[in-house]
Chain A
Amino acid sequence: MQVLKNNGLIALQDLTKQDILDLLSHAKQFKDGLRKDTLNGRVIASCFFEASTRTRLSFESAVARLGGKTIGFADSGATSQANKGESFVDTLRMLNCYADGLIMRHPNDGAARLASEIMTIPVVNAGDGANQHPTQTLLDLFSIQDSQGQLDGVNLGLMGDLKYSRTIHSLISASKLFNMRLFLIAPPELRIESENLHELRRHGISYSFHSDASEVIDKLDCLYLTRLQKERFNGELDCNYGINLELLSRAKPNLRILHPLPRLDELPAAIDDTPYAYYFQQAQNGVYVRQALLDIIFGG
């Protein structure tokens, strides 16, 4: 994990498969009750130039559980960057003087990479525009592994906006490292781009297309469901999007449903009380994964 130590995390592809596995097993230790105070006496800047309440609270919880303190802001509206036109680079230089590490969300693609070049303190990318959100993918991988006991060989259904969703693209990209079988479920308008398919083929990943979850529900170990952003397609969809209890009557007993949240009607609340619901645990796993990441970066 030398790549992370004192360095931070900008993009998932900066990690090897072994780095990821080590991080996930460290996260499992935190889930099993490991307590550490690696960040005791340290100040971590939690700077969200774009609001993302879940991600921010998850990170800040992880910092607090490691004994650290956070400073920062929840959205950029109140910053001097917004009000006085301070340049982003100057804001970064200032933050570098105030904190021992930076957790940053930013609306522009590549902002975290730039921050890591300007700053001497470790930078953790909490989402840069449409580009990367590496801890989301890590917590997704952790949730698949923790719910199925493994990553290799898992039958993973990916359902949603396969064309534009950063969460799904990133998970597909990570699936190349693990020998997962992908079931790509999407309305025709939101099918995966051929460039990404080319990548999957190059890595020998098996996949198939489906327009409806009912075609494959009896085969899946994990179903990763995402909400559709209405602005991505014009008008109505031709198909039923989402899942329901009736569909789940044909599911394997080990099926677990993952969802990055927030949800819309694709994931009815009626499913929350079934053994298939894993999305709240998934959110909780996010704290363990971020604890593990920060613990490794700050040398615990």
Chain B
Amino acid sequence: MEKKIGAIANGVNIDHIPQGNAWYIIKLLKLQRKYPVGIGLNLPSKRLGVKDLVKIENYRLTEEQLKLVSVFAAGATYSEIENYQVVRKLQLTIPESVEDLIICPNHRCISHQHRSRFAFKIVRDKIVVNCHYCEHNYELENLQEFKI
């Protein structure tokens, strides 16, 4: 727990984000213009081949934010840093379900008139989301519209 990370004295580091998902995370956290953010895109990674990386200074994610971030960063590592020390570290896993984050691609789905709710499961190494309302299944990596 004593490893130093980059130039961040205090804040969080989200590493090993699947390539292309850093933007979703930045948008999702609604950081506005308050916090210094470092974004790494298309970085070489042993585990993923290519990865994204997000560092935010003077910031902590709430449990609810961690859950939403996990949707875009399953397998990523989340570290909280104080005085250059990692004080908390966890690997993000897909949540059981999320509300009002995913926009159902089924245009006839009632979720467009109220709220959406999706459950997650792994099917043949792919993350599949299931709409609580219309019962359709989608591969997460094919989804493009989110309420963020």
Q: Could you list which residues of chain A lie within 8 angstroms of chain B, going by C-beta atoms?
A: 11, 87-89, 106-111, 113-114, 128-132
- Interface size for chain B: under 10, 10 to 19, 20 to 34, or 35 or more residues? 10 to 19
Judging by beta carbons under 8 Å apart, are B106 and A109 in contact? yes
Of the listed residues A88, A109, A130, the one surrounded by the most CB atoms of chain B closer than 10 A to its CB is A109
Which residue of A has the minimal Cβ distance to B112? A108
Given contacts A89-B114, A114-B114, contact A108 B135 (CB under 8 A): no
Residues 116-145 (chain B) with a chain A CB within 8 angstroms: 131-136
Is the C-beta of B111 less than 8 angstroms from some C-beta in chain A? yes
Q: Is B135 in contact with A11, judged by CB distance below 8 angstroms?
A: yes
| B114 contacts A109, C-beta separation under 8 Å | no
* Interface set, chain B 67-122, CB cutoff 8 A to A: 106, 108-111, 113-114
Q: A129-B108, A130-B108 are in contact. Are A109 and B135 (CB under 8 A)?
A: yes
Residue from A87, A88, A89, A110 within 8 A of B134 (CB atoms): A110
Contact at B110–A106, with CB atoms within 8 Å? Answer: yes
Shortest Cβ distance from A195 into chain B, in angstroms?
A: 8
Q: How far is the CB of A109 from chain B (nearest CB, A)?
A: 3
B126 to chain A, nearest CB (A): 13
- Given known A-B contacts A107-B108, A108-B108, A109-B108, A89 and B113 have beta carbons under 8 A apart: yes
**Which 9 A-B pairs give the minimum distances between C-beta atoms?**
A110-B133, A109-B134, A110-B110, A108-B110, A110-B134, A111-B110, A114-B110, A109-B109, A109-B108
CA distance A87 to B113 in the complex (A): 8
Residue of A nearest to B111 (CB): A110
In the complex, what residues of B have CB within 8 A of residue A108's CB?
Answer: 108-110, 113
Nearest CB in chain A: distance from B124 CB, A = 10
Least distance between A1 CB and chain B CB atoms (Å): 23
A88-B113, A108-B109, A110-B134 given; name 10 further pairs at CB < 8 Å: A88-B114, A106-B110, A109-B108, A109-B135, A110-B110, A114-B110, A114-B133, A128-B110, A130-B108, A131-B134
Give the complex CA separation of A128 and B132 in angstroms: 13
Offer 12 A-B interface pairs, CB within 8 angstroms, sorted by A.
Answer: A89-B113, A89-B114, A106-B110, A108-B108, A113-B110, A114-B111, A114-B113, A114-B114, A130-B108, A131-B134, A131-B135, A132-B135
Contacts of B108 in A (CB 8 A): 107-109, 129-130
* A110 surroundings in chain B (CB, below 8 A): 109-111, 131-135
| B136 cross-chain contacts in A, Cβ below 8 A | 109
Cα A109 to Cα B107 with chains together (Å): 9
Interfacial chain B residues near A109, Cβ < 8 Å:
106, 108-110, 133-136
| Given known A-B contacts A87-B113, A88-B114, A89-B113, A113 and B106 have beta carbons under 8 A apart | no
CB-CB under 8 A from B134, the residues of chain A are 109-110, 129, 131
Max chain A CB contacts within 10 Å: which of B111, B114, B132? Answer: B114
Q: Which residue of A lies closest to B113 (CB)?
A: A88
Closest to A118 in B: B114
Q: Is the CB of B132 within 8 A of A113?
A: yes
Closest residue on chain A to residue B136 by CB atoms: A109
B133 close to A113 (CB less than 8 A): yes
* Minimal Cβ-Cβ distance residue in B for A88: B113
CB-CB under 8 A from B106, the residues of chain A are 109
Which B residues lie within 8 Å of A106 (CB)? 110
A11 to B111, CA, bound (A): 17
